[in-house]
Structure 1
Amino acid sequence: MPCRDKVCPHGFRSVSMPREGTMFVCGGIVSDSDCPLDVVLKYDMVRNHWTVMNKMITARSFFASGVIDRMIYAAGGNAADLFELDSAEVLNPLDGK
């Protein structure tokens, strides 16, 4: 996963879409500042290529994620200052929205 030396996050989640040959890595937390991330990265397994997608609406770490009907869901988790989130969001991987 592409990341800078000090950024390599933990608390991120990933989902795969094997039929499309893609994997998505979402969120996480910057280890040296406990700051949640709103990043979404797409990995194309066929081309061995990473793409930065649109950001999540809410930066979050340690959340639940999954794929339902080809849509990617992120729910709950932690925001800044370990504030527990009671929200969810969805990403359409076809158009990035």
Structure 2
Amino acid sequence: MRRAAVLVRRRVVAAPAPSPASARGVRIIAAGETSAAARAVPPPPRQQGEPPRAEALRRLVPGGAGMEYSSLLEETADYLRSLRAQVQLMQGLVDLFSYQ
């Protein structure tokens, strides 16, 4: 028995012209500049009472490079809660699949 091929026509609509990079908030990287250098945020100046270990904490917390110290501590607490929740979820999956 022969199978019939069905041809479906789709209407193609032209996409709108892309807006310039500057209007979209896109930064064009200069020649020789890496994308990591374009994203690098200079660390804020050290605040009164900020321990020297704050720089190590800024490197560990995602997005911590450009934060003030008080915001960094709040973000660190949220990040630790998130990591604990992920560990509990993964442990639950291990327990679930190891007993089957």
Q: Same fold (TM over 0.5)?
A: no
TM-score interval for Structure 1 and Structure 2 normalised by the shorter chain: under 0.3
Which protein is bigger by CA-based radius of gyration?
2
The two structures have a TM-score, normalised by structure 1, of 0.19
Compare relative contact order (CA 8 Å, sep 6+) and give the higher one, 1 or 2.
1
Q: Which has the higher helix share?
A: 2
Q: Which has the higher strand share?
A: 1
